[in-house]
Amino acid sequence: MEQWLRKILPQIGYYLAGFVDGEGSFNLSLRRGEDYRYGWQLGLSFNVSQRDQTNLLLLKKHLGCGGLKTRMDGVHSFVVENSNSLRERVGVSGVGDGPARKNILRAAIVGTGR
């Protein structure tokens, strides 16, 4: 088990896991661009949004990554976009420039009819 993970008290870890299970989401975006290697940029992110930022600050503190954003309507979001953080802290496998990413990109392009 990773050293950073051992520092999280079990009751905090279980609470945050349940909170993220109910409120968290993964987002996959596809942006077109001439300067991108395949003509498209694929972006993966993890986020949790709430009006009260208490739990979001706990996530940031205990995961040791990500950032907080606040919308104009007062809703706060904890967001992780860094591929290393997604893989090592959030636990997303297949993130990076390996075969999984390329297969997702091909599927996304085929899905758009391009």
pLDDT (mean) for 19-36: 86
Per-residue model confidence as pLDDT tens digits over 82-105 = 988 888 888 776 555 444 444 444
Report the candidate in 79, 14, 9, 29 with the shortest Cα–Cα distance to residue 50.
79
Domain range holding 107? 3-111
**Total count of domains within the chain:** 1
Judging by DSSP bridges, how do beta strands 76-80 and 24-32 pair with one another? unpaired
pTM over 0.85: no
Separation CA 114–CA 98 (nearest Å): 22
Domain of residue 81, CATH code: 3.10.28.10
What does the buried/exposed string (b/e) look like for 8-41 if buried means 16 or more CB atoms within 10 Å of the residue's CB? beeeeeeebeebbeeebeeeeeeeeeeeeeeebe
